[in-house]
Structure 1
Amino acid sequence: MRLTGRTALVTGASRGMGRAIARRLADDGALVAVHYATNADLADEVVTLIEKDGGRAFAVQADLGTPDGVDVLFDGLAEGLTERTGSTELDILVNNAGVMGGTPAGETTPEQFDRLMAVNAKAPFFIIQRAMAHLADGARIVNISSGLTRVANPDEIAYAMSKGAVEQLALHFAKVLAPRGITINTVAPGITRNGNPVFDIPEAVEQMARLSAFNRVGEPEDVADVVAFLASADARWMTGAFVDATGGTLLG
């Protein structure tokens, strides 16, 4: 329970890695704001699971791809935190929400490109900007990038561009936030089980597993455990770092 008394916001927490991260932080004692974009039922399910395990959580809705998405997010966050703690102070921010492209470069439309950049790159920047007024001294920020910023995939060029931008946030915000003891780091997952139907195909999973040094695909909990470390006091001497959580996929 090393995060007892801490508050956390995890964006994109209704499924996949975000869900696992929210549950892990709650297991460690944090009060977790479970952000979701559209599926309230999934977000409520995460809250219910956390509460069944003895943790505390509440759901917050916001479409981060819209112009007012960040404002909506922080309005809901402030309301939820104030109701439960009497304060809007935030100790942990995990920028996990993202959308994939899956479209070859030659077929990517300006609308698809703009959506990727809005959710994956623009929103995290302005979430951090807004959070600065609420972050406690010694707070933790973790941004979720992707191993695709280091490995080529022609169908995900725009996505990889957006995640490359995310990695710049930790590098530069680290110096802005360090005087307050706030750390900010990047975690880059590799192929991780996320509910995509492709993970139900044994042959596809076997092929993907061969990309990892451990000969398996990642589980959401593998990434959640890394994030939990960076969110704890144990990671106080790490900031501006890129953490490879791909299971050795980037080793070549």
Structure 2
Amino acid sequence: MNTSKIALVTGGSRGLGKDMALKLAQQGIDVILTYRSQQAEAAAVVADITALGRRAVALPLDAAELRTFEAFFAEVTTVLADTFATDRFDFLINNAGTSLSAPISETTEGQFDEMLQVHFKGVYFLTQQALPLLRDGGRIINVSTVSARSSYAGFSAYASMKGAVEVFTRYLALELGSRGIAANVVAPGAVFGGGAMPDTPEMRAWVAQATALGRTAEPDDIGGIVAFLCTDAARWLNGQRLEVTGGIVL
């Protein structure tokens, strides 16, 4: 029976998810990562993890398509048995998502529903279906955003869904405590190279001047925090929101 710990990272083919997967592997954790369309990039991450001496598998998943979750977890069950010689994984990192920048007056119902599906309903029901496979004593880490605390014009729909996920995380912590499962939120700020934030010189300059540490963030600034939450040192953190922004708009 495999004794290595295993993390399931959604949206692990690039940006924040890629760095999370690599940081977890550097910590000695095997990884199942998902991708929506970037199969070649996901395969490259698997190769990088393998080069670190850990095992990894990439599986396709559209985190907004709830009807596919049952089949996805059937595939996860097969991978756990065939690749990892176990029937459980230890860490669920809900990272997959897209961004939206539109003022309230121009946000369409379709855009709103897209944010709802991928950032809240997707996270809620993917987590629900993961629970039978998540080992007692494991961890759930949901990715939120600084814009659930501070308001930035254009991000109302996106930030609202992330705010809902933060409330959901506290309920996960409460209801799963009897299984020894801790649930926490990591809330990054603007991350350039992460795939969601518009990357312009003007935006980089504004973020740098608004951040106490005086620079913009990169995906590499976030992954280590997620990996830390999967260590024994973080075992008493539960139901908490960790804002990882370098101190933006303090």
Does the pair score TM above 0.5?
A: yes
- 1:26 aligned onto 2:28: no
Q: Which residue of 2 aligns with 1:238?
A: 237
**Pair 1:198–1:133, CA change in 2 (3 A):** closer
Give the Cα–Cα distance (whole angstroms) in 1 for the partners of residues 126 and 138 of structure 2: 14
* Matched letter for residue 109 of structure 1: T
Give the Cα–Cα distance (whole angstroms) in 2 for the partners of residues 90 and 63 of structure 1: 20
Q: Which residue of 2 aligns with 1:88?
A: 87
Post-superposition Cα deviations, 1:2-55, rounded to whole Å, max 9, x if no partner, equal xx7101100011111000000111111111011111111111111111112222
Q: Which residue of 2 aligns with 1:183?
A: 182
Post-superposition Cα deviations, 1:47-66, rounded to whole Å, max 9, x if no partner, equal 11111222221101111212
Gap regions ≥5 residues in structure 2: none
Superposed structure 1 runs of 4+ greater than 6 Å apart: none
- 1:211 aligned onto 2:210: yes
Q: Which residue of 1 aligns with 2:11?
A: 12
Give the Cα–Cα distance (whole angstroms) in 2 for the partners of residues 225 and 155 of structure 1: 29
User: 1:103 Cα shift?
Assistant: 1.9
- 1:169 aligned onto 2:168: yes
User: 1:87 Cα shift?
Assistant: 2.4
Give the Cα–Cα distance (whole angstroms) in 2 for the partners of residues 67 and 127 of structure 1: 7
* Matched letter for residue 235 of structure 2: R
Q: Which residue of 1 aligns with 2:117?
A: 118
User: 1:144 Cα shift?
Assistant: 0.4
- 1:142 aligned onto 2:136: no
1:93–1:140 CA contact under 8 A, matched in 2: yes
Identity of aligned residues (%): 37
2:36–2:62 CA contact under 8 A, matched in 1: yes
Give the Cα–Cα distance (whole angstroms) in 1 for the partners of residues 74 and 117 of structure 2: 19
Secondary structure at the residue paired with 2:155?
helix
TM-score (norm 1): 0.93
Give the Cα–Cα distance (whole angstroms) in 2 for the partners of residues 133 and 172 of structure 1: 17
User: 1:183 Cα shift?
Assistant: 0.4
Aligned counterparts, 1:33-72, within 5 A: 33-72=32-71
User: 1:204 Cα shift?
Assistant: 3.5
Give the Cα–Cα distance (whole angstroms) in 1 for the partners of residues 59 and 167 of structure 2: 26
Secondary structure at the residue paired with 1:76?
helix
* Matched letter for residue 76 of structure 2: L
102-111 vs 7-16, greater mean Cα deviation:
102-111
**Pair 1:250–1:56, CA change in 2 (3 A):** farther
- 1:152 aligned onto 2:116: no
TM-score (norm 2): 0.93
Q: Which residue of 2 aligns with 1:78?
A: 77
Post-superposition Cα deviations, 1:112-152, rounded to whole Å, max 9, x if no partner, equal 11111100011111122112111111101100000000111
Q: Which residue of 2 aligns with 1:226?
A: 225
Tell me the matched-pair count: 247
User: 1:76 Cα shift?
Assistant: 2.6
Q: Which residue of 2 aligns with 1:108?
A: 107
Gap regions ≥5 residues in structure 1: none
2:8–2:93 CA contact under 8 A, matched in 1: yes
